[in-house]
Chains A and B, each alone.
Chain A
Amino acid sequence: MSRVNTVLGPIPAEELGVVAVHEHIGYGMPGSELDTKWWKTPEQRYEETVPKLRKFREYGGGTFVDVTGICNGRDIDYYKSLSAKTGVHIVACTGFVGGDTALPFFERAGVDYLTRQFVHEITVGIGDTGSKAGVIKVGVSRGGRMTELDKRIYRAAARAAVTTGVPILTHLAIDPEPAVAVFEEEGLPLDRVLFGHADDGVNADSTPAAWLAGLGGRIGFDTFGYETELEDPPFWARPRQERLDHFLDFVGKGFLDKALVSADANCSPLGWPGVKGHTVNYLFEDLIPDLRGAGLDEPTIRKLLEDNPADFLTIRD
């Protein structure tokens, strides 16, 4: 059976439509909830979020994958209301954005406990929401090298992916050798892993995308729109043309099957200012026109935004 877990229940992969595969309704580092400088009223959060999701739907968007990990402000009940009212399918994740976003309770936990946490959230549900996670998030802590905790989380994620058939998305794919070793040791085929942020301005040069794709991994060009041309670009921004060229070069090497694209935008950031002018709708407003301009045909664009993510997100038996 073709099945993907969304916050409102499982749906057939055939219903996903255009997928934004690496996004955030709202992200904040753990502890940011204590700092009132970031607080927003519920009215403000909905006002900032609903129009973006409605526009995403109007453009033909089908599914929004939220990769806001445990402890980062993941808020399933809120996502459920957003999904029900806008018609956008929302896939939520289990896992952690990186070891440095896992709070002490999880930092102290062993691989077995972390595995049970992830499997429970995928097969039983997240908290008392009844919603099941559709993807597993893992990532590399700040500093550029995988920490011991990062590796423990990767191993637990690999075991949960093998057990449940749900795929893994990574935050960053720098220092990927330990990650690949963990996945291989745990018997997880690399096409169940999306190695993310291969295109960001800080990490692109140290991300061996072709090597990972050659091993079977999927590669996320998923920070599209974080451009130096923006009014107030973040430190991971990159010139628009440079990113596009990087992406076209990757696809030109024969890796179309391995490519996934997204914008990694926050609809309404929780613990940081966010980036003005950057939304998930970059995919429709900028990326698709740029791809057409570069000569990609419609079947290729459909493959990038529909077929590849559907294949990735479908729970494996």
Chain B
Amino acid sequence: MTAHTARSSTTVNTVLGPVPADDLGVVAVHEALLSVVPGAEHAYDITMDRAEIFETLAKKLTDFRSHGGGTIVDSTGMFHGRDVRLYEALSRSTGVHIVASTGMGPEELLGGYFLTPQTNPPTPWPAEKFADLFTKEVTEGMVVPRVERRAAAGLVATAAATGGMTATEESLFRGAARTALATGVPVSVRYGADAVHDLDVVLDEKLPADRVVVGGLDRRDAVAAGAPLEVARRGAYVALDHVGLDDSDTYVTDRERAALVLDLVAAGHADRILLSGNATGVAKGQPAHDLPYSYVSSTFVPLAKSLGLGEEDARRVLVDNPRALLTLR
């Protein structure tokens, strides 16, 4: 076995380079570090004080670590405030592994370059071009726009509009799947109207289901439709990633979330469950979702255990499942 294959079969791409998958520890698999609504960086009344942003994020990461957290996945993609050099400094100074993502979506968050390019007619980008853009972020490194590339992206993230997947979003999903196939990183999708339909778009690209995590499956409509169980049956990871959101019309409560975890375990899918808080460490251009990254392990998992979640399954959900997902194939 060559050094290369030994490494690639057991590592995860972090902003500081590949790390052994066994080093990840407890993983928060769907979070945001710096979250910037595209364009907000140009707003006259928004300041971007990097030192202040760093301090806020460092405190949150340190809290996460002090509660047993090992790895944060920033699943916001390449065009929502991702700041690779800031994340490198944060990871070095707090000791928390940071996995950053490539990808984009939903369509409404894309720049005009992808939607109305300077061609006649202005045809939106097809899957192949998105695949090429995202793949290079893994094989050549994540971009600091117009300046340089840094470390490889650890996953490719995309999303569809809640009203239903648009044509360009189908291109994004297919492009993301092709990147996963070409590079070995996993795909993280936020579905639009129909979780199973949107997952099937990715699977149609012949990507194995266990390379996909479907996020947002703690949405009330998805739970009512039985989507979490159906996604798990197909072999994809089920992310209940709004843990801590307890007063929403759109998402179920933590108690219902815990019940859902137990249902999935009872149905034999303990190896497909992921939990995360969808917190935003620092948000610009929209209100922050100011939830500690440690909330899942410090508050939610004890609740789930009190309702019957076993110790071994809890560890599986927090450590083993995200490790299997994030490990490069």
> Closest residue to B47 on the A side, CB-wise?
A128
In the complex, are the beta carbons of A71 and B146 less than 8 A apart? no
Residues on A with beta carbons closer than 8 Å to the beta carbon of B44:
116-117, 120-121, 124
Residues of B within 8 A of A29 (CB): 111-113, 116-118
Contact A105 B37 (CB under 8 A): yes
The residue in A34, A100, A202 that gathers the most chain B C-beta atoms within 10 A of its C-beta is A34
In angstroms, Cα B113 to Cα A256, docked, is 37
Q: Bound state CA distance, A143 and B113, in angstroms? A: 15
**Complex Cα–Cα for A259 and B118 (A):** 27
A142 at the interface (CB under 8 A from B): yes
The reply to whether A34 and B79 form a contact with Cβ atoms under 8 Å apart is: yes
Determine if A105 and B285 form an interchain contact, defined as CB atoms under 8 angstroms apart.
Answer: yes
Q: Cβ of A31: which chain B residues have Cβ within 8 Å of it? A: 79, 110-114
Nearest Cβ on chain B to A33's Cβ, whole angstroms: 4
Contact of B78 among A32, A34, A103, A104 (CB under 8 A): A34
Contacts of A121 in B (CB 8 A): 44
B307 within 8 A of A: no
Residues of B within 8 A of A33 (CB): 145-146
- Which residue of chain B is the closest to A94 with respect to CB atoms? B44
Residue in B43, B112, B116, B143 whose beta carbon sits within 8 Å of that of A36 in the complex:
B143
Tell me whether A103 and B111 are in contact (CB under 8 A). yes
Q: What is the interface of chain B mostly: helix, strand, loop, or mixed? A: loop
- State whether the Cβ of B201 lies closer than 8 Å to any Cβ in chain A: no
Answer whether residue B259 sits at the interface, using C-beta atoms and an 8 A cutoff: no
Bound Cα distance A121, B44 (Å): 7
The answer to whether A35 and B113 touch (CB under 8 A), given A104-B108, A235-B120, is: yes
Cα A209 to Cα B72 in complex, Å, equals 57
A26-69 toward B: CB 8 Å interface, digit per residue (1/0)? 00111111111001100000000000000000000000000000
Instruction: Decide if A32 touches B113 in the complex (CB within 8 Å).
Output: yes
- Known A33-B146, A36-B143, A202-B120: A104·B109 in contact at CB below 8 Å: yes
Minimum distance in angstroms from A74 CB to a CB of chain B: 8
Report Cα–Cα, A272/B113, bound state, in Å.
10
User: Is the Cβ of B118 less than 8 Å from the Cβ of A141?
Assistant: no
Contact residues in B for A281 (Cβ distance below 8 Å): none
- The answer to whether B133 and A106 have CB atoms under 8 Å apart is no
Q: Report Cα–Cα, A71/B121, bound state, in Å.
A: 22
B310 CB within 8 Å of chain A:
no
Contacts of B118 in A (CB 8 A): 29, 271-272
Residues of B within 8 A of A36 (CB): 136, 140, 143, 149
Interface 1/0s, chain A 100-114, versus B by CB < 8 A? 111111111000000
Number of interface residues of A (CB under 8 A): 37
Interface residue A70 (Cβ < 8 Å from any Cβ of B) = yes
Q: Which residue of the partner chain, among B40, B78, B108, B113, contacts A271 with CB atoms under 8 Å?
A: B113
Residues of A within 8 A of B40 (CB): 105
Q: Given contacts A103-B38, A105-B38, A202-B120, is CB(A32)–CB(B43) below 8 Å?
A: no
Query: Is B122 close to A, CB under 8 A?
Result: yes
Interface residues of B in 28-62 (CB under 8 A from A): 37-40, 42-45
Which residues does chain A contribute within 8 Å of B133, judged by CB atoms?
A: 34-35
Which residue of A has the minimal Cβ distance to B142? A34
B79 touches A102 (CB 8 A): no
Q: How far is the CA of A43 from the CA of B116 in the complex (A)?
A: 30
- Determine whether the beta carbon of A34 is less than 8 Å from that of B116: no
Which residues 75-125 in B have Cβ within 8 Å of A in the complex?
78-79, 108-122
Residues 131 to 161 of chain A near chain B (Cβ within 8 Å): 141-143
CB distance from A129 to the nearest CB of B (A): 12
Tell whether, in the assembled complex, residue A39 and residue B146 are in contact, meaning their CB atoms are under 8 Å apart.
yes
A127 at interface by CB-CB < 8 Å? yes
Most-contacted residue by chain A among B44, B112, B116, B121 (CB, 10 A) = B112
A100-B116 in contact (CB<8A): yes
Q: Which residues of B contact A30 (CB under 8 A)?
A: 38-39, 111-113
* Set of chain B residues within 8 Å of A104, measured between Cβ atoms: 37-39, 108-109
User: Given A36-B143, A36-B149, A116-B44: A28 and B38 within 8 A (CB)?
Assistant: no
Q: How far is the CB of B324 from chain A (nearest CB, A)?
A: 30
Could you say which residues of chain B place their CB within 8 Å of the CB of A127?
42
Neighbouring B residues of A28 by C-beta, 8 Å: 113
Which B residues are closer than 8 A to A by beta carbons? 37-40, 42-45, 78-79, 108-122, 133, 136, 140, 143, 145-146, 149, 285
User: Which residues does A use to contact B, with CB under 8 Å?
Assistant: 28-36, 39-40, 70-71, 100-108, 116-117, 120-121, 124, 127, 141-143, 202, 235-236, 270-272
Known: A105-B40, A235-B119. 15 other contacts (CB 8 A): A28-B113, A30-B112, A31-B114, A35-B113, A70-B39, A70-B42, A100-B115, A103-B111, A104-B39, A105-B42, A105-B43, A107-B39, A107-B108, A124-B44, A127-B42
Pick the 9 closest A-B CB pairs, nearest first: A31-B111, A103-B39, A105-B39, A31-B113, A30-B111, A33-B145, A29-B113, A120-B44, A235-B120
A-B contact pairs, 29 of them (CB 8 A): A30-B39, A30-B113, A31-B79, A31-B112, A31-B114, A33-B145, A34-B78, A34-B79, A34-B133, A35-B113, A36-B140, A39-B146, A40-B146, A70-B39, A71-B42, A101-B112, A103-B38, A103-B111, A104-B39, A104-B108, A105-B40, A105-B42, A106-B43, A107-B39, A117-B43, A120-B44, A270-B146, A271-B113, A271-B118
